[in-house]
Structure 1
Protein backbone atom coordinates (compact mmCIF):
# COMPACT_ATOMS: atom_id res chain seq x y z
CA UNK A 1 0.00 0.00 0.00
CA UNK A 2 2.82 2.39 0.89
CA UNK A 3 4.49 1.62 -2.42
CA UNK A 4 1.30 2.46 -4.31
CA UNK A 5 0.97 5.85 -2.59
CA UNK A 6 4.60 6.59 -3.32
CA UNK A 7 4.15 5.74 -6.98
CA UNK A 8 1.07 7.96 -7.14
CA UNK A 9 3.00 10.85 -5.64
CA UNK A 10 5.86 10.30 -8.10
CA UNK A 11 3.44 10.25 -11.02
CA UNK A 12 1.83 13.48 -9.83
CA UNK A 13 5.22 15.12 -9.39
CA UNK A 14 6.33 13.98 -12.83
CA UNK A 15 3.09 15.29 -14.32
CA UNK A 16 3.48 18.63 -12.57
CA UNK A 17 7.06 18.98 -13.83
CA UNK A 18 5.98 18.19 -17.40
CA UNK A 19 3.17 20.76 -17.29
CA UNK A 20 5.49 23.31 -15.72
CA UNK A 21 8.17 22.83 -18.39
CA UNK A 22 5.74 23.06 -21.32
CA UNK A 23 3.81 26.07 -20.00
CA UNK A 24 7.03 27.85 -19.05
CA UNK A 25 8.34 27.40 -22.58
CA UNK A 26 5.06 28.66 -24.06
CA UNK A 27 5.05 31.72 -21.80
CA UNK A 28 8.68 32.63 -22.43
CA UNK A 29 8.28 32.27 -26.19
CA UNK A 30 5.01 34.28 -26.09
CA UNK A 31 2.85 31.42 -27.37
CA UNK A 32 0.82 32.22 -24.26
CA UNK A 33 0.34 35.96 -24.47
CA UNK A 34 0.91 38.23 -21.45
CA UNK A 35 -2.35 38.69 -19.55
CA UNK A 36 -4.09 35.70 -21.12
CA UNK A 37 -6.19 33.45 -18.88
CA UNK A 38 -4.89 30.07 -17.76
CA UNK A 39 -7.70 27.63 -16.99
CA UNK A 40 -7.02 24.64 -14.75
CA UNK A 41 -9.84 22.55 -16.20
CA UNK A 42 -8.69 23.10 -19.79
CA UNK A 43 -5.11 22.28 -18.83
CA UNK A 44 -6.20 19.11 -17.03
CA UNK A 45 -8.00 17.99 -20.20
CA UNK A 46 -5.08 18.99 -22.42
CA UNK A 47 -2.49 17.05 -20.39
CA UNK A 48 -4.83 14.23 -19.32
CA UNK A 49 -4.06 14.88 -15.66
CA UNK A 50 -6.01 15.63 -12.52
CA UNK A 51 -6.15 19.25 -11.35
CA UNK A 52 -3.71 18.61 -8.49
CA UNK A 53 -0.50 18.44 -10.61
CA UNK A 54 -1.84 21.31 -12.73
CA UNK A 55 -2.10 23.45 -9.59
CA UNK A 56 1.41 22.43 -8.52
CA UNK A 57 2.78 23.51 -11.91
CA UNK A 58 0.94 26.84 -11.73
CA UNK A 59 2.22 27.52 -8.21
CA UNK A 60 5.77 26.99 -9.42
CA UNK A 61 5.18 29.25 -12.42
CA UNK A 62 3.82 31.85 -10.01
CA UNK A 63 7.01 31.62 -7.96
CA UNK A 64 8.94 32.28 -11.18
CA UNK A 65 6.83 35.39 -11.75
CA UNK A 66 5.39 33.97 -14.97
CA UNK A 67 1.76 33.64 -13.91
CA UNK A 68 -0.45 35.48 -11.44
CA UNK A 69 -2.85 33.58 -9.17
CA UNK A 70 -5.61 35.80 -7.79
CA UNK A 71 -7.34 35.28 -4.41
CA UNK A 72 -10.35 33.74 -6.19
CA UNK A 73 -7.95 31.16 -7.72
CA UNK A 74 -8.17 32.45 -11.29
CA UNK A 75 -4.81 32.40 -13.04
CA UNK A 76 -3.39 34.48 -15.88
CA UNK A 77 -0.04 34.89 -17.60
CA UNK A 78 1.94 37.69 -15.97
CA UNK A 79 1.54 40.91 -17.98
CA UNK A 80 4.40 42.85 -19.52
CA UNK A 81 4.31 46.52 -18.56
CA UNK A 82 5.99 48.13 -21.56
CA UNK A 83 5.74 51.54 -19.93
CA UNK A 84 8.19 50.44 -17.24
CA UNK A 85 10.71 48.79 -19.54
CA UNK A 86 13.13 51.77 -19.41
CA UNK A 87 13.16 51.45 -15.59
CA UNK A 88 13.78 47.73 -15.87
CA UNK A 89 16.66 48.23 -18.29
CA UNK A 90 18.26 50.85 -16.04
CA UNK A 91 18.06 48.47 -13.07
CA UNK A 92 19.49 45.64 -15.16
CA UNK A 93 22.39 47.82 -16.26
CA UNK A 94 23.28 48.78 -12.68
CA UNK A 95 23.13 45.26 -11.25
CA UNK A 96 24.92 43.76 -14.23
CA UNK A 97 27.79 46.18 -13.68
CA UNK A 98 27.90 45.35 -9.95
CA UNK A 99 27.90 41.53 -10.23
CA UNK A 100 30.37 41.52 -13.13
CA UNK A 101 32.77 43.83 -11.32
CA UNK A 102 32.60 41.68 -8.19
CA UNK A 103 33.21 38.54 -10.26
CA UNK A 104 36.41 40.06 -11.65
CA UNK A 105 37.59 40.77 -8.12
CA UNK A 106 36.52 37.61 -6.31
CA UNK A 107 36.26 34.76 -8.83
CA UNK A 108 38.18 31.58 -8.14
CA UNK A 109 39.95 29.42 -10.72
CA UNK A 110 37.09 26.90 -10.61
CA UNK A 111 34.52 29.64 -11.08
CA UNK A 112 36.49 31.04 -14.00
CA UNK A 113 36.37 27.61 -15.62
CA UNK A 114 32.62 27.49 -15.03
CA UNK A 115 32.21 30.91 -16.64
CA UNK A 116 34.19 29.78 -19.68
CA UNK A 117 32.08 26.62 -19.92
CA UNK A 118 28.84 28.64 -19.68
CA UNK A 119 30.05 30.98 -22.41
CA UNK A 120 30.80 28.07 -24.76
CA UNK A 121 27.35 26.62 -24.08
CA UNK A 122 25.79 30.01 -24.87
CA UNK A 123 27.68 30.28 -28.16
CA UNK A 124 26.51 26.80 -29.16
CA UNK A 125 22.91 27.70 -28.27
CA UNK A 126 23.13 30.91 -30.32
CA UNK A 127 24.22 28.98 -33.39
CA UNK A 128 21.38 26.50 -32.94
CA UNK A 129 18.84 29.29 -32.46
CA UNK A 130 19.86 31.06 -35.66
CA UNK A 131 19.31 27.84 -37.59
CA UNK A 132 16.03 26.84 -35.94
CA UNK A 133 14.51 30.22 -35.05
CA UNK A 134 13.74 28.84 -31.58
CA UNK A 135 15.25 31.12 -28.94
CA UNK A 136 14.45 29.06 -25.85
CA UNK A 137 17.83 27.35 -25.53
CA UNK A 138 19.67 30.63 -26.06
CA UNK A 139 17.56 32.33 -23.38
CA UNK A 140 18.33 29.54 -20.90
CA UNK A 141 22.05 29.56 -21.61
CA UNK A 142 22.18 33.35 -21.40
CA UNK A 143 20.55 33.16 -17.96
CA UNK A 144 22.97 30.45 -16.82
CA UNK A 145 25.96 32.42 -18.09
CA UNK A 146 25.07 35.58 -16.21
CA UNK A 147 24.15 33.71 -13.03
CA UNK A 148 27.50 31.88 -12.99
CA UNK A 149 29.12 35.32 -13.12
CA UNK A 150 26.85 36.58 -10.33
CA UNK A 151 27.80 33.58 -8.16
CA UNK A 152 31.49 34.36 -8.71
CA UNK A 153 30.92 37.79 -7.17
CA UNK A 154 30.28 36.15 -3.77
CA UNK A 155 27.42 38.46 -2.75
CA UNK A 156 24.14 36.57 -2.42
CA UNK A 157 22.06 39.74 -2.10
CA UNK A 158 23.23 41.24 -5.38
CA UNK A 159 23.01 37.82 -7.05
CA UNK A 160 19.41 37.32 -5.91
CA UNK A 161 18.31 40.75 -7.12
CA UNK A 162 20.06 40.15 -10.42
CA UNK A 163 18.41 36.74 -10.76
CA UNK A 164 14.96 38.31 -10.36
CA UNK A 165 15.70 40.82 -13.11
CA UNK A 166 16.99 38.15 -15.47
CA UNK A 167 13.91 36.01 -14.81
CA UNK A 168 11.62 38.95 -15.54
CA UNK A 169 13.56 39.78 -18.70
CA UNK A 170 13.37 36.36 -20.39
CA UNK A 171 10.34 37.26 -22.49
CA UNK A 172 12.02 40.51 -23.47
CA UNK A 173 15.05 38.54 -24.60
CA UNK A 174 12.81 36.36 -26.78
CA UNK A 175 11.29 39.42 -28.45
CA UNK A 176 14.74 40.94 -28.84
CA UNK A 177 16.07 37.80 -30.51
CA UNK A 178 13.12 37.69 -32.90
CA UNK A 179 13.96 41.27 -33.87
CA UNK A 180 17.67 40.46 -34.30
CA UNK A 181 16.94 37.56 -36.62
CA UNK A 182 15.41 39.97 -39.12
CA UNK A 183 19.05 40.56 -40.05
CA UNK A 184 19.79 37.69 -42.44
CA UNK A 185 23.54 38.19 -41.95
CA UNK A 186 23.41 37.72 -38.18
CA UNK A 187 25.99 35.26 -36.80
CA UNK A 188 26.40 33.50 -33.47
CA UNK A 189 29.75 35.27 -33.04
CA UNK A 190 28.06 38.66 -33.30
CA UNK A 191 25.41 37.77 -30.72
CA UNK A 192 27.96 36.45 -28.24
CA UNK A 193 30.75 38.99 -28.78
CA UNK A 194 29.72 41.07 -25.74
CA UNK A 195 29.98 38.00 -23.54
CA UNK A 196 33.49 37.26 -24.81
CA UNK A 197 34.70 40.71 -23.76
CA UNK A 198 33.14 40.29 -20.32
CA UNK A 199 34.71 36.85 -19.83
CA UNK A 200 38.16 38.05 -20.84
CA UNK A 201 38.00 40.98 -18.40
CA UNK A 202 36.91 38.69 -15.56
CA UNK A 203 39.71 36.24 -16.36
CA UNK A 204 42.24 39.09 -16.24
CA UNK A 205 40.64 40.23 -12.96
CA UNK A 206 40.30 43.72 -14.41
CA UNK A 207 37.33 45.08 -12.47
CA UNK A 208 37.20 48.38 -14.38
CA UNK A 209 37.07 46.69 -17.78
CA UNK A 210 34.63 44.03 -16.57
CA UNK A 211 32.23 46.73 -15.38
CA UNK A 212 32.72 48.70 -18.59
CA UNK A 213 31.90 45.72 -20.83
CA UNK A 214 28.93 44.77 -18.64
CA UNK A 215 27.61 48.31 -19.02
CA UNK A 216 28.14 48.28 -22.80
CA UNK A 217 26.36 44.93 -22.99
CA UNK A 218 23.34 46.29 -21.11
CA UNK A 219 23.36 49.56 -23.05
CA UNK A 220 23.43 47.82 -26.42
CA UNK A 221 20.61 45.51 -25.37
CA UNK A 222 18.62 48.54 -24.21
CA UNK A 223 19.18 50.36 -27.48
CA UNK A 224 18.22 47.39 -29.63
CA UNK A 225 15.16 46.58 -27.55
CA UNK A 226 13.88 50.16 -27.64
CA UNK A 227 14.43 50.07 -31.40
CA UNK A 228 12.36 46.89 -31.51
CA UNK A 229 9.56 48.56 -29.55
CA UNK A 230 9.59 51.61 -31.78
CA UNK A 231 9.38 49.45 -34.89
CA UNK A 232 6.61 47.22 -33.60
CA UNK A 233 4.50 49.70 -31.68
CA UNK A 234 4.23 52.01 -34.69
CA UNK A 235 3.90 49.37 -37.41
CA UNK A 236 0.11 49.20 -37.25
CA UNK A 237 -0.64 52.91 -36.89
CA UNK A 238 -2.47 54.02 -40.04
CA UNK A 239 -1.24 57.11 -41.86
CA UNK A 240 -4.00 58.84 -43.82
CA UNK A 241 -3.15 61.75 -46.03
CA UNK A 242 -5.91 64.18 -47.05
Structure 2
Protein backbone atom coordinates (compact mmCIF):
# COMPACT_ATOMS: atom_id res chain seq x y z
CA UNK A 1 0.00 0.00 0.00
CA UNK A 2 1.30 3.44 -0.93
CA UNK A 3 2.16 5.81 1.91
CA UNK A 4 -0.63 8.22 0.93
CA UNK A 5 -3.20 5.41 0.86
CA UNK A 6 -2.02 4.15 4.25
CA UNK A 7 -2.27 7.64 5.74
CA UNK A 8 -5.70 8.15 4.18
CA UNK A 9 -7.02 4.82 5.48
CA UNK A 10 -5.76 5.51 9.01
CA UNK A 11 -7.12 9.05 9.17
CA UNK A 12 -10.44 7.97 7.63
CA UNK A 13 -10.89 5.26 10.25
CA UNK A 14 -9.97 7.65 13.07
CA UNK A 15 -12.43 10.28 11.85
CA UNK A 16 -15.23 7.77 11.33
CA UNK A 17 -14.77 6.15 14.74
CA UNK A 18 -14.46 9.48 16.53
CA UNK A 19 -10.83 8.99 17.59
CA UNK A 20 -10.26 12.28 15.77
CA UNK A 21 -13.13 14.45 16.95
CA UNK A 22 -14.70 17.28 14.94
CA UNK A 23 -12.52 20.37 15.17
CA UNK A 24 -9.29 18.44 15.72
CA UNK A 25 -6.39 20.24 14.04
CA UNK A 26 -4.40 17.97 11.71
CA UNK A 27 -0.98 19.60 11.66
CA UNK A 28 1.25 18.35 8.87
CA UNK A 29 4.36 17.92 11.01
CA UNK A 30 2.55 16.19 13.87
CA UNK A 31 0.48 13.89 11.65
CA UNK A 32 3.32 12.93 9.32
CA UNK A 33 5.44 11.98 12.35
CA UNK A 34 2.59 10.10 14.02
CA UNK A 35 1.67 8.17 10.87
CA UNK A 36 5.25 7.52 9.79
CA UNK A 37 4.93 9.14 6.38
CA UNK A 38 6.51 12.16 4.76
CA UNK A 39 4.55 15.37 4.31
CA UNK A 40 3.87 14.83 0.58
CA UNK A 41 1.80 11.63 0.98
CA UNK A 42 0.13 13.16 4.04
CA UNK A 43 -0.98 16.12 1.94
CA UNK A 44 -2.37 13.70 -0.66
CA UNK A 45 -4.33 11.93 2.07
CA UNK A 46 -5.65 15.23 3.42
CA UNK A 47 -6.73 16.29 -0.07
CA UNK A 48 -8.73 13.07 -0.43
CA UNK A 49 -10.35 13.60 2.95
CA UNK A 50 -11.22 17.16 1.96
CA UNK A 51 -12.79 15.83 -1.24
CA UNK A 52 -14.82 13.42 0.91
CA UNK A 53 -15.98 16.38 3.01
CA UNK A 54 -14.40 14.95 6.17
CA UNK A 55 -11.80 17.69 6.71
CA UNK A 56 -11.78 21.38 5.90
CA UNK A 57 -9.06 23.95 5.35
CA UNK A 58 -9.44 26.48 8.14
CA UNK A 59 -6.56 28.40 6.59
CA UNK A 60 -3.89 27.64 3.95
CA UNK A 61 -1.79 25.81 6.57
CA UNK A 62 -4.44 24.54 8.98
CA UNK A 63 -6.62 21.48 8.31
CA UNK A 64 -9.30 20.45 10.80
CA UNK A 65 -11.73 17.55 11.08
CA UNK A 66 -15.12 18.69 9.78
CA UNK A 67 -17.99 18.95 12.22
CA UNK A 68 -21.35 17.26 11.80
CA UNK A 69 -24.59 18.66 13.21
CA UNK A 70 -28.34 18.14 12.90
CA UNK A 71 -28.53 20.04 9.62
CA UNK A 72 -25.72 17.93 8.14
CA UNK A 73 -27.46 14.75 9.25
CA UNK A 74 -30.77 15.90 7.82
CA UNK A 75 -29.14 16.68 4.46
CA UNK A 76 -27.33 13.34 4.50
CA UNK A 77 -30.57 11.45 5.10
CA UNK A 78 -32.39 13.41 2.39
CA UNK A 79 -29.84 12.10 -0.08
CA UNK A 80 -29.68 8.67 1.51
CA UNK A 81 -33.45 8.26 1.30
CA UNK A 82 -33.49 9.07 -2.41
CA UNK A 83 -30.58 6.76 -3.24
CA UNK A 84 -31.33 3.79 -1.00
CA UNK A 85 -35.04 3.49 -1.72
CA UNK A 86 -34.30 3.46 -5.45
CA UNK A 87 -31.44 1.00 -4.98
CA UNK A 88 -33.72 -1.36 -3.02
CA UNK A 89 -36.38 -1.09 -5.72
CA UNK A 90 -33.86 -1.90 -8.47
CA UNK A 91 -32.30 -4.73 -6.47
CA UNK A 92 -35.72 -6.39 -6.15
CA UNK A 93 -36.03 -6.22 -9.93
CA UNK A 94 -32.51 -7.28 -10.86
CA UNK A 95 -30.92 -9.14 -7.96
CA UNK A 96 -30.36 -12.80 -7.21
CA UNK A 97 -33.25 -13.58 -4.87
CA UNK A 98 -31.36 -16.39 -3.15
CA UNK A 99 -28.64 -13.98 -2.04
CA UNK A 100 -31.12 -11.68 -0.32
CA UNK A 101 -33.17 -14.46 1.24
CA UNK A 102 -29.94 -15.80 2.74
CA UNK A 103 -29.12 -12.32 4.06
CA UNK A 104 -32.62 -12.04 5.52
CA UNK A 105 -32.01 -15.27 7.43
CA UNK A 106 -28.74 -13.83 8.78
CA UNK A 107 -30.47 -10.65 9.93
CA UNK A 108 -33.10 -12.79 11.65
CA UNK A 109 -30.53 -14.53 13.84
CA UNK A 110 -27.77 -11.89 14.14
CA UNK A 111 -26.63 -10.96 17.64
CA UNK A 112 -26.80 -7.17 17.68
CA UNK A 113 -25.01 -7.14 21.04
CA UNK A 114 -21.85 -7.47 18.95
CA UNK A 115 -22.14 -4.17 17.06
CA UNK A 116 -19.01 -4.82 14.98
CA UNK A 117 -20.39 -8.10 13.63
CA UNK A 118 -23.75 -6.48 12.99
CA UNK A 119 -22.26 -3.62 10.99
CA UNK A 120 -20.12 -6.12 9.07
CA UNK A 121 -23.37 -7.87 8.06
CA UNK A 122 -24.81 -4.53 6.96
CA UNK A 123 -21.68 -3.94 4.86
CA UNK A 124 -22.26 -7.28 3.11
CA UNK A 125 -25.90 -6.35 2.56
CA UNK A 126 -24.84 -3.01 1.04
CA UNK A 127 -22.36 -4.80 -1.23
CA UNK A 128 -25.12 -7.18 -2.37
CA UNK A 129 -27.35 -4.20 -3.16
CA UNK A 130 -24.57 -2.61 -5.22
CA UNK A 131 -23.96 -5.84 -7.13
CA UNK A 132 -27.67 -6.32 -7.82
CA UNK A 133 -28.25 -2.75 -9.00
CA UNK A 134 -25.18 -2.92 -11.28
CA UNK A 135 -25.10 0.84 -11.79
CA UNK A 136 -21.67 2.41 -11.25
CA UNK A 137 -23.08 5.94 -10.89
CA UNK A 138 -25.58 4.95 -8.21
CA UNK A 139 -23.03 2.80 -6.40
CA UNK A 140 -20.49 5.65 -6.37
CA UNK A 141 -23.07 8.01 -4.89
CA UNK A 142 -23.98 5.43 -2.25
CA UNK A 143 -20.31 4.92 -1.33
CA UNK A 144 -19.95 8.65 -0.74
CA UNK A 145 -23.00 8.67 1.54
CA UNK A 146 -21.76 5.61 3.45
CA UNK A 147 -18.42 7.31 4.12
CA UNK A 148 -20.26 9.93 6.19
CA UNK A 149 -22.82 7.47 7.51
CA UNK A 150 -20.16 5.60 9.49
CA UNK A 151 -19.65 8.73 11.62
CA UNK A 152 -23.38 9.17 12.13
CA UNK A 153 -24.00 5.52 13.02
CA UNK A 154 -21.81 5.87 16.11
CA UNK A 155 -24.62 7.91 17.66
CA UNK A 156 -26.95 4.88 17.64
CA UNK A 157 -24.26 2.29 18.24
CA UNK A 158 -24.83 2.04 21.99
CA UNK A 159 -28.62 1.83 21.74
CA UNK A 160 -29.42 -1.91 22.02
CA UNK A 161 -33.12 -1.44 21.28
CA UNK A 162 -32.37 0.51 18.12
CA UNK A 163 -29.85 -2.03 16.87
CA UNK A 164 -32.35 -4.85 17.44
CA UNK A 165 -35.07 -2.92 15.59
CA UNK A 166 -32.62 -2.12 12.80
CA UNK A 167 -31.89 -5.83 12.33
CA UNK A 168 -35.62 -6.55 11.96
CA UNK A 169 -35.96 -3.70 9.47
CA UNK A 170 -33.04 -4.98 7.41
CA UNK A 171 -34.54 -8.47 7.48
CA UNK A 172 -37.77 -7.10 6.02
CA UNK A 173 -35.91 -5.18 3.30
CA UNK A 174 -33.85 -8.24 2.38
CA UNK A 175 -36.95 -10.48 2.29
CA UNK A 176 -38.80 -7.99 0.09
CA UNK A 177 -35.88 -7.92 -2.35
CA UNK A 178 -35.60 -11.71 -2.15
CA UNK A 179 -39.30 -11.97 -2.94
CA UNK A 180 -38.93 -9.72 -5.97
CA UNK A 181 -41.27 -7.04 -4.56
CA UNK A 182 -39.81 -3.64 -5.57
CA UNK A 183 -42.43 -1.46 -3.87
CA UNK A 184 -42.28 -3.31 -0.55
CA UNK A 185 -38.47 -3.14 -0.67
CA UNK A 186 -38.59 0.63 -1.25
CA UNK A 187 -41.23 1.18 1.44
CA UNK A 188 -39.36 -0.94 4.01
CA UNK A 189 -36.19 1.02 3.25
CA UNK A 190 -38.04 4.31 3.72
CA UNK A 191 -39.37 3.18 7.11
CA UNK A 192 -35.92 2.00 8.20
CA UNK A 193 -34.32 5.33 7.26
CA UNK A 194 -37.03 7.30 9.04
CA UNK A 195 -36.47 5.31 12.24
CA UNK A 196 -32.69 5.59 11.98
CA UNK A 197 -32.85 9.34 11.38
CA UNK A 198 -35.18 9.87 14.35
CA UNK A 199 -32.94 7.86 16.68
CA UNK A 200 -29.78 9.66 15.60
CA UNK A 201 -31.34 13.09 16.08
CA UNK A 202 -32.50 12.07 19.54
CA UNK A 203 -28.98 10.91 20.40
CA UNK A 204 -27.54 14.18 19.11
CA UNK A 205 -29.94 16.15 21.30
CA UNK A 206 -29.01 14.13 24.36
CA UNK A 207 -25.27 14.48 23.70
CA UNK A 208 -24.57 17.72 21.82
CA UNK A 209 -20.83 17.04 21.95
Name the TM-score class by shorter chain: 0.7 to 0.9
Higher RCO, 1 vs 2 (CA within 8 Å, ≥6 residues apart): 2
Which 10-residue stretch deviates more, 159-168 or 32-41? 159-168
Stretches of structure 2 that go unaligned for 5 or more consecutive residues are none
Q: 1-side partners of 2:112 and 2:47: how far apart?
A: 31
Shift, 1:171, TM fit:
0.8
Q: Which residue of 2 aligns with 1:74?
A: 62
For residue 40 of structure 2, the aligned residue among 45, 48, 52 is: 52
For residue 169 of structure 1, the aligned residue among 144, 149, 152 is: 149
Which 10-residue stretch deviates more, 159-168 or 28-37? 159-168
1:111-190 superposed matches below 5 A: 112-113=98-99, 116=102, 120=106, 126-129=112-115, 139=119, 141-178=121-158, 180-181=159-160, 186=161, 189-190=164-165
Post-superposition Cα deviations, 1:150-177, rounded to whole Å, max 9, x if no partner, equal 3412333333333322222221111221
Shift, 1:200, TM fit:
0.8
Provide TM-score, normalisation by structure 1.
Answer: 0.71
Q: Which has the larger radius of gyration?
A: 1
SS at match of 1:76: strand
Stretches of structure 1 that go unaligned for 5 or more consecutive residues are 1-9, 130-134, 237-242
Question: How many residues are matched?
Answer: 208
SS at match of 1:45: helix
Which 10-residue stretch deviates more, 99-108 or 65-74? 65-74
Question: Is the alpha carbon distance of 1:160 and 1:66 closer, same or farther for their aligned partners in structure 2, counting shifts above 3 Å?
Answer: same
Q: Is the 8 A contact 2:111 2:118 kept in 1?
A: yes
Shift, 1:209, TM fit:
1.1
List structure 1 runs of 4+ shifted beyond 6 angstroms.
none
2:178 is equivalent to residue 203 of structure 1: yes
Post-superposition Cα deviations, 1:164-195, rounded to whole Å, max 9, x if no partner, equal 222222211112213x15xxxx5965442211
Q: Is the 8 A contact 1:139 1:174 kept in 2?
A: no
RMSD, aligned α-carbons:
3.2
Q: Which residue of 2 aligns with 1:26?
A: 14
Q: Is the 8 A contact 2:27 2:63 kept in 1?
A: yes
Provide TM-score, normalisation by structure 2.
Answer: 0.80
Q: 2-side partners of 1:38 and 1:141: how far apart?
A: 32
